[in-house]
Structure 1
Amino acid sequence: MAAKDMVVIGEVVKPHGIRGEFSVENHADSPSLYAPGGKVWLRPAKGADRVVEILTSRPHQGRMLLTIKGVADRDAAEALRGCQVLVRPEDLPELDDDEIYLHEIVGFDVVLPGGEPVGVLEGFMDLPGQDVWLIRGEGGREILLPATEETVPEIDAGERRIVIDPPQGLLELSQPGE
């Protein structure tokens, strides 16, 4: 499977304790992705992805704590700090017909309610309290949109189009300097 096809579901934050357990900032709604016996891929900032087997998992203070095969002490867990945690798309839970995974809408055109083009959805930031979408506008300008039901009233997967209703003044803040 090509690395670009993998889906990021979390990031290793820090070791927890002395027995190889580590904390993961979880971006997925489904804790079943971290089930013992399951497999995930770890992607360091430099180097190749590697597949690992989950031995234990448990929620802790809004994050997931994991132990994996081959990581038995704090130093080994510390070496994982900053790694992205990934799964194959086929490992994701099934969605209802009216739902879509965020990674599936990257590259969609972004427009205002009247149809005026804004840009292309380039990525996401999972910030405390809400997601922020990165939209690449005309001339390469970066637009950061807090994604809520109010600011993203429509996603049309068939047309590969997202309608946004940004807070007043947001698009003007994103204008290139004059």
Structure 2
Amino acid sequence: MKTHGKSGEVIALPVRGLPFLVEPGLVVALTPPALDRERFTTVEGVEEAANGYRIALAGIEDLNASEGVVGCYLLAREDDLELGPLDVAWDDLIDRAVIDGRYGRLGVIKEVIETPANDVWSIEGPYGTVLLPVIEQVVQAIPEEGPIQVVVLDGLIDAKPGDAPRPAGEV
């Protein structure tokens, strides 16, 4: 976290690969703890900013107080978080198989690309590299294990359904 302005707000980013789940009313622990401030606080406000998320925390009301939490992490109890069907850590996605009802096996996720609108999976497989937006119209849910079922939007793959290109050297 870093300071933002004189009113005690801070700028925070999610830890790479984790979804941003901070919202008003969430009780968080400031870590590492310090002797001169409370360890737990409540999120009073969250607003998306150009360089992260601007967060107001209870008890952090001026620049001096916000400087005391620079470099801290916000930790929350898992039971207090509202996870959506697409909220998973990136590390849990790498090398997971992806299957579409029309195109069949698309391949495996090799990279998660973060964009301002939504994450994008880079999938390597029989269709080459497929860039798949991680949105509810495409990925309805991510099971804990096994292949991930998707619905490929028209125009994302340059082939007809079921006509996967053959591997090089195969006739």
Q: Counterpart in 2 of 1:23?
A: 11
How far did residue 167 of structure 1 move? 5.1
How far did residue 144 of structure 1 move? 4.0
Alignment gaps of 5+ in structure 2: 15-19, 34-38, 160-171
- Provide the aligned length of Structure 1 versus Structure 2: 139
Distance 1:41 1:112, change over 3 A: farther
1:102 aligns to 2:90 (yes or no): no
How far did residue 59 of structure 1 move? 3.5
Alignment gaps of 5+ in structure 1: 1-11, 43-49, 173-178
Query: Cα RMSD (Å) of the superposition?
Result: 4.4
Structure with the higher strand share, 1 or 2: 1
AA aligned to 1:15 is T
Normalized against structure 2, the TM-score is what?
0.52
Normalized against structure 1, the TM-score is what?
0.50
Q: Counterpart in 1 of 2:122?
A: 135
Q: Counterpart in 1 of 2:167?
A: none
Structure with the higher helix share, 1 or 2: 1
Structure showing greater radius of gyration is: 2
Percent of aligned pairs sharing the same letter: 15
1:1-178 mapped onto 2 (5 Å cutoff): 12=1, 14-18=2-6, 20-24=8-12, 27-28=20-21, 31-32=23-24, 35=26, 38-40=27-29, 50=32, 52-54=39-41, 57-60=44-47, 63-67=53-57, 73=64, 76=67, 79-80=70-71, 85-93=74-82, 100-103=85-88, 106-107=92-93, 108-114=96-102, 115-120=104-109, 123=112, 125=114, 127-128=115-116, 130-138=117-125, 144-150=131-137, 152=138, 154-155=140-141, 157=143, 159-166=146-153, 168-169=155-156
